[in-house]
Amino acid sequence: MSDSEDDGNAEMEKQVKIVILGETNVGKTSLIKRYCFDEFSRYYNQTVGADFFLRRFPFPGRYEVSVRISDVGGFEFKGSMLGNYLFNADIIILMYDITNLASFEYVSVWLKEVDKLLEKRPMMAIVGNKCDVEHHRSVKPLDVRCFASNQKLHSFVVSSKTGEGVNNCFLELIASHLRIPLTRNDKERQQSIVKAEIMPPSARVPVRLGNNEDRYNTSSSVCSIQ
């Protein structure tokens, strides 16, 4: 193949390497499985060492993009391999669980470790997972905004369970890394349908009455995003 043909193909395919870090149980593997296979499991299966995933997709009207994602187990913190996993990363995602304050506090510890291991930070983002259980939130959005702005991190909130925000988070980061401006159409096409569970009609759902009393509604189905 001539050089010019080779260059032509290189123009058609862009490769992006993403590394995901964060405390154990925050949902790193779940985020990747939602993004790559559109699947979710409620069972926890600890990642030992690191796993590697690939997703290829045509970037809206432009290139074929091949995204390699390294899923680093939470127990790899300070592990001797962490530097190898981070090698040549284009984007690093620091992940926390919005219902687990300690997992957010540890993001800064992971960030310090990254700074120790890399001479120069690549593009970085902080991602809060499990927004389907917003009612159990223990991390204040304002604290995340301050941290992200001080550290110059992109910030997203997602649910790997329902898929909310997942495609958009990856699309925005990849587009920003490749310096491709996104149109509103591009973003809308990436939005996944959020799946909600239907509770059976027998479920006792409290209905707030004006007189400070709760009555239990047993007659209608309720769509609940859990």
CB 91 within 8 A of CB 18: yes
Q: Which of 162/190 has CB closer to ligand GTP?
A: 162
Q: Which of 129/162 has CB closer to Mg ion?
A: 129
Max CA pair span of the chain? 80
Give the torsion sign (CA, 13, 14, 15, 21): negative
Which residues are at the interface with ligand GTP (CB under 6 A)?
24-30, 41-47, 73-74, 129-130, 132-133, 159-161
CB 18 within 8 A of CB 90: yes
> Does residue 160 touch Mg ion according to CB under 5 A?
no
Nearest approach, Cβ of 124 to ligand GTP (angstroms)?
18
Binding residue (CB under 5 A) for Mg ion from 21, 26, 29, 162: 29
Nearest approach, Cβ of 176 to ligand GTP (angstroms)?
23
Nearest approach, Cβ of 74 to Mg ion (angstroms)?
7
Q: Binding-site residue total for Mg ion (CB under 5 A)?
A: 2
Nearest approach, Cβ of 29 to Mg ion (angstroms)?
3
Nearest approach, Cβ of 130 to ligand GTP (angstroms)?
4
Stretches 5-13, 24-32, 163-171, 189-197: which one binds Mg ion (CB under 5 A)? 24-32
Nearest approach, Cβ of 210 to ligand GTP (angstroms)?
33
Stretches 27-35, 151-159, 162-170, 217-225: which one binds Mg ion (CB under 5 A)? 27-35
Q: Which of 47/168 has CB closer to Mg ion?
A: 47
> Does residue 25 touch Mg ion according to CB under 5 A?
no
> Does residue 47 touch Mg ion according to CB under 5 A?
yes
Q: Interface with Mg ion by CB under 5 A: which residues?
A: 29, 47
